[in-house]
Amino acid sequence: MPLTLTRPDLQRTANFIGGEWCAAAGRTLDVTDPATGALIAQVPDSGADAARAAADAAHAAFPAWRRTPAKQRAQILKRWNDLVLAHQEDLGRLISREQGKPLAEGIGEVAYAASYIEWFAEEATRANGDVIPAPVPGRRMFAIKEPVGVVAAITPWNFPAAMIARKIAPALAAGCTVVCKPAEDTPLTSLALVALAAQAGVPAGVLNIVTASRERTPEVVDVWLDDARVRKITFTGSTPVGKHLARRSADTLKKLSLELGGNAPFIVFEDADLHAAVDGLMAAKFRNGGQTCVCPNRVFVHEAVHDEFAGLLAARVGSLRVGPASDPASQIGPMINARAIEKIERHVQDAVSRGARVLAGGARLPALGPNYFAPTVLVNADATMACACEETFGPVVPLTRFANEAEVVAQANDTPFGLAAYFYSRDVRRIWRVADALEAGIVGINEGALAAEAAPFGGVKDSGYGREGSVHGLDDYLHTKYVCQGQLD
Ligand code: SIN
């Protein structure tokens, strides 16, 4: 099925460097529909030359952009936000087609992306420093916020619009210039967003984007890692890649924001409102078909309410509509690619071979296409299973029984990861005890939908560091310069 957009020029298939669209000079990368495997478009499979050109352009544009008054940068970002919202339907179609999420979710993601652009447009004018009372006479002391410089943004495929917005909007608001490498599975949404940013008035060289395949991505990123002019890397993706970037950034001591893997616990205490807990779990787990860093990966249910909760959940999960993004009734689309579906299948088979029982789903849905997996509920899951140790990144809910609070908090924290954690309880003392004890950057109490532009998003432990969104999200693109003036008496 052809991709029809109200504004066909939003389907871009070239790199954008120094304000120019640069078509592939050599190799190309196929962008395919995860529902069918059909070719949608071809974009450049770029290498070191394009990466270097992008860094040169971003470096050249930095002095003027950092001097551009914050209010002017804010106005450009506001225009970008308005254009993104004006083209919400087209962008939603692009997201759904290349990423596979149902159209309503794709359109919803555009609004989510725009909320970050709007937020950082407003924050741009508030990068305030401090006037520090001097400890000695005759001095004035200041802490001044400055943009860090050229930022390399490496973005994931699961939220192709929102993650671009969450990284690029604060960078531009702070006065940084950007080189970006979007995920190989979903470059079209990113290119469309960059086209709208240029239309909004982002000057040439301030925002540059280079597409590349999985195989060639290291060639692109290595150029930026080795380039001392690139002062910051912001990355969302796997923990091994995040650690690699941290190691490789050491020689040029870049600032880093790493939003890495999660293994979120979701705890249902015996005093929880079970219907609210099921609603929260459905919202948190099945957003984007479970392909979300913050989605619950391990669900612990108190033994007193386990069977009732499992029954309620299995009924809801069993009624989810799985199908292509093009069907308005679909609630779960295809998984992103063959690697993803193989991992999900491996996790379910491993769990069953170790004693888990399937209450709903449990298998691929080949009649729909190669990348569909039935939303699944497993009971009798335990910590030895792959689904408890690794992020499944798919529509699988493994339930584990627990007997008491101390035990479940220890189990929840028994992972190298610490991105999100959720729990349901109506006991106010327990609520604050457990919220304090959970080792996670984000905690949901009686709430499954946590993401918001005004909230700090990020992890602890192997889930990375740095925060996106909120006032803290701007700070990640700034450094503090101490200025002291003497001889004033
Ligand atoms: C992610 O999965 O990395 C982002 C999810 C979100 O913004 O809620």
Confidence of residue 175 (pLDDT cuts 50, 70, 90): very high
pLDDT at 369 over 80: yes
Mean pLDDT of 404-421: 98
Residue nearest to atom 7 of ligand 1 (CA): 451
Residue nearest to atom 1 of ligand 1 (CA): 293
Q: Which helix (H) or strand (E) holds 49?
A: helix 48-67
Ligand 1 pocket residue status of 74, Cβ below 6 Å: no
Ligand 1 pocket residue status of 213, Cβ below 6 Å: no
Ligand 1 pocket residue status of 183, Cβ below 6 Å: no
Query: What is the chain's mean pLDDT, rounded?
Result: 97
> Which tokens hold the place of 45?
């499979």
Confidence of residue 275 (pLDDT cuts 50, 70, 90): very high
Please report the pLDDT score of residue 28 as a whole number.
98
pLDDT at 1 over 80: no
Ligand 1 pocket residue status of 292, Cβ below 6 Å: yes
pLDDT at 269 over 80: yes
CB 16 within 8 A of CB 194: yes
Portion of the chain with pLDDT greater than 90, in percent: 98
Please report the pLDDT score of residue 93 as a whole number.
97
Mean pLDDT of 8-18: 97
Distance 292 CA to ligand 1 centre (A): 5
Residue 385 CA to residue 355 CA, distance in Å, equals 9
Ligand 1 pocket residue status of 115, Cβ below 6 Å: no
pLDDT digits (tens, 9 = 90+) for 191-213: 999 999 999 999 999 999 999 99
Mean pLDDT of 7-19: 97
* Residues found in the chain: 489
Choose one of 116, 154, 158 to mutate for the ligand 1 pocket test, by most ligand atoms within 8 angstroms of C-beta. 158
Confidence of residue 150 (pLDDT cuts 50, 70, 90): very high
Residue ranges with strand state E in 191-254: 207-209, 230-236
Mean pLDDT of 183-192: 98
Please report the pLDDT score of residue 59 as a whole number.
98
Mean pLDDT of 83-109: 97
CB 367 within 8 A of CB 337: no
Confidence of residue 42 (pLDDT cuts 50, 70, 90): very high
Mean pLDDT of 88-102: 97
Please report the pLDDT score of residue 2 as a whole number.
75
Mean pLDDT of 446-462: 97
Which atom of ligand 1 lies closest to the CA of 293?
A: 2
Which atom of ligand 1 lies closest to the CA of 166?
A: 7
Ligand 1 pocket residue status of 152, Cβ below 6 Å: no
Residue 259 annotated in active site: yes
pLDDT digits (tens, 9 = 90+) for 21-30: 999 889 999 9
CB 324 within 8 A of CB 422: no
Sequential DSSP letters for 385-410: SHHHHS---SSEEEEEEE--HHHHHH
Distance 98 CA to ligand 1 centre (A): 17
Residue 478 CA to residue 473 CA, distance in Å, equals 10
Please report the pLDDT score of residue 154 as a whole number.
98
Mean pLDDT of 68-92: 98
Residue 188 CA to residue 307 CA, distance in Å, equals 45
pLDDT at 3 over 90: no
CB 51 within 8 A of CB 179: yes
The gap between the terminal CA atoms of the chain, to the nearest Å, is 76
Please report the pLDDT score of residue 273 as a whole number.
98
Instruction: From 257, 247, 178, 134, select the one nearest 18 (Cα to Cα).
Output: 178
Residue 180 annotated in active site: no
| C-alpha distances out from residue 228 to 186, 379, 384, Å | 28, 51, 44
Residue 385 CA to residue 346 CA, distance in Å, equals 11
